[in-house]
Structure 1
Amino acid sequence: MRMPHLEGIRCEQIHTPRLTFHVLFAGPPDGEPVVFLHGNVSSATFWEETMLTLPPGFRAIAPDLRGYGESERRPVDATRGLRDFSDDVHALVETMGLARFHLVGHSMGGGIAMQYAIDHAERIFSLTLVDPLSPYGFGGTKDPEGTPCWPDYAGSGGGTANPEFVRRLAAGDRGEESDFSPRRVLRAFYGKAPFLHPREDILVESMVRTAVGEENYPGDFQISANWPGIAPGTRGVNNAMSPKYCNLSALAAIDPKPPILWIRGAEDVVVSDHSLFDFGYLGSIGLVPGWPGEAIYPPQPMVAQTRRVLERYEAAGGRYQEEEIPDAGHTPYLERPEVFQEILHAYLRR
């Protein structure tokens, strides 16, 4: 079954040298291109409302990334960090003939956008990061400089995903009987809880189309002697975001330096200095036993890490703008669309 889309959204399969993409479009074909990258366990359909409301003269382009939505399922080599995804995006824009474009990334897509800017800064008019992955990856670091808690980066990678959620995702669970069903996870964590969206059924359908397994989401893992007992493997999405392989701090030194907009929901519990998906924070509040304490494994300061890299970007001659949207969680573009759009549109026009 093909995913239904909002009126005004067009879709196309685009073949590139790396993989076949399912891509959504909105706006005039000759408009200034804005490329949207979605987050983990979602797809381009999350961007549809934002795509349809871009100012006149802009063209919205949103691909399903590898292993998500209706794009081709290919393994993720986690030892390359997010470069598999960045290289995919580059193959897509090259195939489409996009010389330059605005780039917008949410969550994991924000990390991919940073990696793309490191690899191809000259192609970007502007960079917008929406509740982005920390430049030092997800899990296992303890200060604004991204210092690892353990040498093996225990507490990050493929073993950090809840196994019952993974099982239900793989089974295509569209119900709401379990707290670990994709629908209940969407309501509890993707936005400020309870997050109830008019297109909830479509968003859930998008989630359950995620490729699940050791090669994709969440990836493989290794047993560790260090708390909390699991360390990154070498395959799959969550390992690609582990700080063992993912370090995007080189963003501060890219040249040329496109202007950067950083937007985040004030109530985000996913990418946060107190993330409910971070073992350091969960251990500190007693939800994971055996926590070795603040000095060894504190909560990862994800927001502080992003701010530190962007301050370095600014000190090196770049410009960045930080916007916090109150009363919004991890997806402010879906929760408070009018506020989000006002900020994004003003930025794009400038």
Structure 2
Amino acid sequence: MPTFDYQGREISYRTAGTAGPLVLFLHCSSSHSGQWKGLMETLSPRFRIVAPDLHGYGRSAPLPRDGSSFRIHDAGAVAALVEDAGAGPAHLVGHSMGATVAVQTALDHPAQVASVTLIEPVLFGLLEVAGDPLRLDYLQIAHDMMVLMDRDARADAAQRFMDFWMGAGAFDMLDAHTRDYVVATIDRVIDDWRGISHMAPDALGIADIAALDRPVELIWSDATHASVQAIMARLADSLPQARCRQFAGGGHMAPVTRPDLVEPHIRAALDRFTG
């Protein structure tokens, strides 16, 4: 995989296609650019596609430790990658944590962004600020994982994380290689949980979201967590320019476990944005 230097840190990425509008795919927590490999191949005849490994995932260097959240650093790397590709602005497609990076990139680097397609961005801080009872979904998992990490119970924290998103027993059903990867990246996952809190130093509020002035597509599963459903409802209310697409089944991890349910909606969004 090729790499580029972003502020002295090596960021790896994969590519597909050589012509057409530029599309960047941004993966979820404890994943990497390979999450999008199948869709990239499908879309490669029509688009020039780039999918980075965000800091601390895949083959990319860890996050800097300077007090800023992952969103700031990853958004900067995404914008730099768009500029380096020389074919921008780009259409950003992000899932979960990657969708929060897409939002941050569009806010901080609007000249590099043509549109954003957001698949269940985990902006739990919006629920915290609003006092929504469903915020407890996020607060419980974040608390559990951080306590486990304080005890250096990394595998237990990884299990708690995977079972939260994919159901009880999901971690134990993973193949050994994937389990090892989830454990190996659990520190970055903790950074993700901290960075989406309303207490993060650069937290995104609803006014920030409303300032997003790029075309937006919101995509989510009817089988996802109720807390994520609440986030999507708040985003839809704050972004009148957004088009909303809900699909049946699959849950939050459908882009990984059931891409057949999600990919038609991504293709439709890109068709809308690129004409």
Alignment TM-score > 0.5, same fold: yes
State the AA in 1 paired with 2:7: P
Partner of 1:325: 247
Partner of 1:5: none
Partner of 2:49: 60
Whether 2:232 is the aligned partner of 1:303: answer: no
Kept in 1, the 8 Å contact 2:11–2:53? The answer is: yes
Shift of 1:72: 0.6
Whether 2:220 is the aligned partner of 1:264: answer: yes
Larger Rg: 1
Change (3 A) 1:128 1:194: farther
Aligned residues: 266
What is the rounded CA distance, in whole Å, between the counterparts of 2:111 and 2:234 in structure 1? 23
Whether 2:88 is the aligned partner of 1:99: answer: yes
Whether 2:226 is the aligned partner of 1:251: answer: no
Secondary structure of the equivalent of 1:82? helix
TM-score, structure 1 normalization = 0.64
Task: Describe the superposition over 1:145-186 as per-residue Cα deviations: whole angstroms up to 9, x where unpaired.
Answer: x9x99xxxx9489644265478464xxx6xxxxxx4747854
Kept in 1, the 8 Å contact 2:222–2:246? The answer is: yes
User: Which residue of 108, 114, 128 corresponds with 2:117?
Assistant: 128
Kept in 2, the 8 Å contact 1:105–1:112? The answer is: yes
What is the rounded CA distance, in whole Å, between the counterparts of 1:157 and 1:239 in structure 2? 11
Change (3 A) 1:211 1:22: farther
Whether 2:190 is the aligned partner of 1:238: answer: no
Kept in 2, the 8 Å contact 1:43–1:207? The answer is: no
State the AA in 2 paired with 1:313: L
Shift of 1:194: 7.2
Partner of 1:231: none
What is the rounded CA distance, in whole Å, between the counterparts of 1:104 and 1:168 in structure 2? 33
Whether 2:22 is the aligned partner of 1:22: answer: no
State the AA in 2 paired with 1:62: A
Q: How does 1:70-149 map to 2 (within 5 A)?
A: 70-80=59-69, 82-134=71-123, 136=125, 142-143=131-132
Kept in 2, the 8 Å contact 1:68–1:211? The answer is: no
> 5+ unaligned residues in a row in structure 2: which ranges?
none
Kept in 1, the 8 Å contact 2:88–2:112? The answer is: yes
What is the rounded CA distance, in whole Å, between the counterparts of 1:102 and 1:201 in structure 2? 35
Secondary structure of the equivalent of 2:210? helix
Q: How does 1:165-314 map to 2 (within 5 A)?
A: 167=152, 169=154, 180=156, 182=158, 186=162, 188-191=163-166, 203-210=178-185, 212=187, 216-218=188-190, 236-245=191-200, 246-249=203-206, 250-254=208-212, 257-269=213-225, 272-273=226-227, 302-314=228-240
TM-score, structure 2 normalization = 0.79
> 5+ unaligned residues in a row in structure 1: which ranges?
1-10, 174-179, 219-235, 274-301
What is the rounded CA distance, in whole Å, between the counterparts of 2:165 and 2:57 in structure 1? 17
Whether 2:119 is the aligned partner of 1:161: answer: no
Kept in 2, the 8 Å contact 1:157–1:239? The answer is: no
What is the rounded CA distance, in whole Å, between the counterparts of 2:75 and 2:245 in structure 1? 25
What is the rounded CA distance, in whole Å, between the counterparts of 2:247 and 2:167 in structure 1? 11
State the AA in 2 paired with 1:69: G
What is the rounded CA distance, in whole Å, between the counterparts of 2:7 and 2:157 in structure 1? 36
What is the rounded CA distance, in whole Å, between the counterparts of 2:192 and 2:160 in structure 1? 22
What is the rounded CA distance, in whole Å, between the counterparts of 1:34 and 1:158 in structure 2? 32
State the AA in 2 paired with 1:110: A
Kept in 1, the 8 Å contact 2:209–2:238? The answer is: no
State the AA in 2 paired with 1:239: R
Secondary structure of the equivalent of 2:219? strand
State the AA in 2 paired with 1:16: Y
